[in-house]
Amino acid sequence: MTITADSPLIGNPSGTIHEAIVWAGQENAEYIREVWRLSEWTGLDPALIVAQWAHETADGTSPRWVNNRNPAGLGIEADSDADPATLTQTDAAQLHIWCLVFTVTKPLSAAFNLPQSTRAFTTRWMRKIEERNYPHPVETVADLQKRYVDSSGEPQAVWGWDERYASKLVAKHRAMFGAQEAPPVSESLVFGRVPYPAVTERHLPLGGWVKSGAPAVPEAVVWHRMIGTLWGTDGWFFGGNAATAYGIGVVSIDGADDAGRIIEWMDPASGYYGESSGPAKAPYGDGALFVERFGVSGVNRLTKAIEISGNYDTPLDEPARAAIVALTAYFADQRRIPWSLFPMVPDQGRSFVIWHQEFTGPAEKVCPGAVVMAETSALIARVRDVLKAAQTVTDEPKPPVYAAPELPDWWAAHAAQSWPSDADWNGLRFRVARRRAEALKPAVRRSRPADDAPKSGPNLLVREKVNVERTVQTEVVKNGKTKRIDWIVTSDGHYIRAASVSPRIVIAPR
């Protein structure tokens, strides 16, 4: 959904909890989950709330957030003022939504039962709101920067004094959640053209772990990690210990022959399903929305579980990513989800893609873990591209075709090591540099470390984060002079100019 300054503060989510957590990091996930939970009944758009938090706290790095968990400068006049309390992230989410609800509705419904500690924290803030006679209604993003004169003749602002407050909030939202396109009026959508991917059929025998009554078309797919190998898990299932729908291999622990292999343990048309996505102990986010609509009994029966080989920290590789995208796109298309709305299910305000932990609660299951969660937004974007190519019947240009990255033959083995060493390939030194980096400016993903190399993926967007695995330095001779160029190599195998990311990475010979 494309957000503008005229977008309403009350409305369906304009982004997903997956995208929010990927942007903000697991260290801020508690706040985000509470925002999504409370927004279900306050009616506020949780994506806009989190975007406002990100704008106000410099993406969760400001001292007011790090030290006091103040989500938006609430209860203080300026940064020089002392914060009256230190909150938990849950308290911070409740405080933020309470103040927004009060600002939008005025007066606030007594049903919003904020903890006493948080009420005390907001005393000064709420007194200011109660004393204000600002112009109502406050309905849109732009309304948050409305100007007015209070009873004492002093100029005031509803929320943000910055004359570009609304535009900055919109820009932050678009950076976090993207600007999803709406299909043109003249565009016709065709469903059923996404192919079912090639699978290895290993149908489990009927038994205590195999149930019946599942529809062929699911209401969601659930992403898991196996905590084991592909064939080790297959043996565990055939030993009568558990059952699930699909398994996908990864190269680092299953080998090149099984990387991206999809094992079909249950025929999707058979009506059988396993019980691998529960128990629904403390569902949150899209898991909670699913349970609210379909009940606990639907968690396994109405979903397709996709088990990805490896542990929570096992890196994905291109064959595995392609298999995840192919399976997810097939079932999303069967569910008749338009490419422009994916991953959101039409008229339900929830994502078609659900993490296992969104059903169990993160205290019960970390699954699918940080690696898959960090790549969720990129995988969803690829699924959307597959859906668009299959569902549209216009003369639009075909989606770009990217070149496969050129990587050393030792790449997968080194990526799986906890402490890999520097290594050489094609006359270049690949130095280990595992760290998180953020794009300072748009950057091109290349298939090899050269400015004329084919693109290997979509451009890196400003503030987009990547995992750096290696650095490499090349030399270019121009006008008789030799110039050294530093590159990073991301964990998923793309080459990007090091000058485009932060923190600064420099390779200096000694």
Residue 21 belongs to domain with CATH number: 1.10.530
Same-domain check for residues 237 and 360 = yes
Please report whether residue 401 resides in a domain: no
Same-domain check for residues 379 and 423 = no
User: What span, in angstroms and rounded, lies between the C-alpha atoms of 497 and 423?
Assistant: 20
Q: How far is CA 268 from CA 233, 271, 322, in A?
A: 19, 7, 20
Please report whether residue 217 resides in a domain: yes
Over residues 366-389, mean pLDDT: 90
Same-domain check for residues 386 and 415 = no
**What is the per-residue pLDDT for 382?**
92
Query: 6 or 301: whose pLDDT is higher?
Result: 301
∠ Cα 20 24 26 (to 5°) = 100
Over residues 216-239, mean pLDDT: 94
Residues contacting 300, CB < 8 A, separation 6+? 211, 273, 274, 275, 276, 277, 278
Over residues 78-92, mean pLDDT: 66
Q: How far is CA 253 from CA 231, 241, 259, 405, 493, in A?
A: 10, 22, 9, 20, 17
**What is the per-residue pLDDT for 411?**
94
Please report whether residue 406 resides in a domain: no
Same-domain check for residues 299 and 154 = no
Q: What is the pTM of this model?
A: 0.53
**What is the per-residue pLDDT for 109?**
43
Share above pLDDT 70 across residues of the chain, in percent, rounded to a whole number: 86
* CATH number of the domain within which 250 lies: 3.40.80.10
**What is the per-residue pLDDT for 112?**
46
DSSP 45-61: -HHHHHHHHHHHTTTTT
Same-domain check for residues 387 and 459 = no
Over residues 37-46, mean pLDDT: 82
Same-domain check for residues 387 and 415 = no
Please report whether residue 8 resides in a domain: no
Please report whether residue 510 resides in a domain: no
Please report whether residue 404 resides in a domain: no
Residue 182 above 50 pLDDT? no
Structure tokens of 397? Answer: 């240009």
Cβ–Cβ < 8 Å for 180, 341: yes
Same-domain check for residues 432 and 342 = no
**What is the per-residue pLDDT for 363?**
87
pLDDT digits (tens, 9 = 90+) for 300-323: 999 999 999 999 999 999 999 999
Same-domain check for residues 357 and 431 = no
User: What span, in angstroms and rounded, lies between the C-alpha atoms of 224 and 276?
Assistant: 9
Same-domain check for residues 145 and 82 = yes
Q: Where are the alpha helices (DSSP H) in 190-342?
A: 230-238, 251-254, 285-294, 298-301, 318-334
Is residue 396 very low, low, confident or very high in pLDDT (cuts 50, 70, 90)? low
Cβ–Cβ < 8 Å for 230, 247: yes
Domain span including residue 464: 411-502
Instruction: State the amino acid at position 249 in one-letter form.
Output: G
For 271, counting Cβ atoms within 10 Å of its Cβ (0-12 exposed, 13-18 middle, 19+ buried), the class is: middle
Same-domain check for residues 169 and 73 = yes
pLDDT digits (tens, 9 = 90+) for 404-443: 999 999 999 999 999 999 999 999 999 999 999 998 888 8
Domain C-terminal end among 357, 391, 425: 391
Is residue 184 very low, low, confident or very high in pLDDT (cuts 50, 70, 90)? very low
Q: Using the 8-state DSSP alphabet, how is residue 137 labeled?
A: -
Same-domain check for residues 263 and 313 = yes
* CATH number of the domain within which 450 lies: 2.30.30
Query: 370 or 154: whose pLDDT is higher?
Result: 370
Over residues 487-502, mean pLDDT: 93
Domain C-terminal end among 162, 177, 192: 177
Please report whether residue 462 resides in a domain: yes
Pick from 204-208, 304-308, 363-367: least confident:
204-208
Question: Which residues on neighbouring strands pair with residue 406, listed in sequence order?
Answer: none
Domains: count for the chain: 3
pLDDT digits (tens, 9 = 90+) for 326-356: 999 999 999 999 988 888 888 777 889 999 9
**What is the per-residue pLDDT for 129?**
56
Q: Which helix (H) or strand (E) holds 378?
A: helix 369-391
Token look-up 């006493």 returns 116
Domain C-terminal end among 177, 209, 238: 177
Residue 181 above 60 pLDDT? no
pLDDT digits (tens, 9 = 90+) for 130-139: 555 666 678 8
Structure tokens of 15? Answer: 């982004």
Please report whether residue 399 resides in a domain: no
Same-domain check for residues 31 and 165 = yes
Residue 208 above 60 pLDDT? yes
